[in-house]
A = this chain, B = another copy of it.
Amino acid sequence: MVLDAWNTHVQRAEKLFNNLNDVEMLKEVAPGRNRGVYLFGHLIAVHDGIPALLGVGKQNYPELNAVFINEADKSSLPVPSIGDLRTSWKKVHSDLSEGFNKLSSDEWFSAHTAVSEVDFVKEPHRNKLNIIINRTNHLSYHLGQLALIK
C-alpha cells in the first residue's frame, strides 16, 4: 500500500511536469515563491538520496544537493538546464523502481542507513518503509504547490 501510494504520486508528478513546458517551468507557484524548475530539481535531489538510505544504491547527482536542497530558489548558483533535469528525473525514478525490487518484505522493516543500531532498537519505526511514507507526503506537499502553476 505504501509503495502503491508512492508510485501513484510519482506518476502524478511526472504527468504534471510533462504538461509544463520549459517557459512554464520558470513560473513561480505563487508571487515571490519557488519556481517550478526549483521544485523539480528539489524533488529529483531528494528522491536521488533514497537508494542510499535504503542501502540499494548511491546518489546519481550529488551535485544537485547544493542548489536544490542546501540553497533556496534563486540563489547565485547555476541551475542545470530543464532538459537535463528531465533526463535526471527519469534516471532517478527508474533506479528507484529497480532498488525497490531488491528489497524483501522483511528488509522494508529493517533500519534505514541513517539510523544507528542503538537508536533503531528504541525506535523501530525508523525503517526503510517509513522513508517511503515520509517521502510520499513530501512529494504530495510540493505537488499541491506545483498544481498552482497551470
Residues of B within 8 A of A134 (CB): 5
Contacts of A148 in B (CB 8 A): 29-30, 33, 145, 148
A4→B137 CA distance, assembly (Å)? 12
Q: How far is the CA of A127 from the CA of B13 in the complex (A)?
A: 25
Chain multiplicity (copies): 2
A52 at the interface (CB under 8 A from B): no
Overall SS of chain A's interface: helix
Chain B residues near A129: list those with CB within 8 A: 1
User: Which listed residue (B29, B138, B141, B143) contacts A30, Cβ 8 A?
Assistant: B29
CA distance A140 to B30 in the complex (A): 17
A38-72 contacts to B, CB under 8 A, are none
List residues of chain B with CB within 8 A of the CB of A2.
2, 133
Q: How many residues of A sit at the interface, in one of the four size bands? A: 20 to 34
Chain A window 115-150, contacts with chain B (Cβ cutoff 8 Å), 1 for yes, 0 for no: 000000000010101100110111011111101100
A83 within 8 A of B: no
The contact string, 1 if C-beta is below 8 Å from chain B, for chain A 1-29, is 11011000100000000000000000001
Q: Which of A130, A133, A138 has the most CB of B within 10 A?
A: A133
Interfacial chain B residues near A147, Cβ < 8 Å: 141
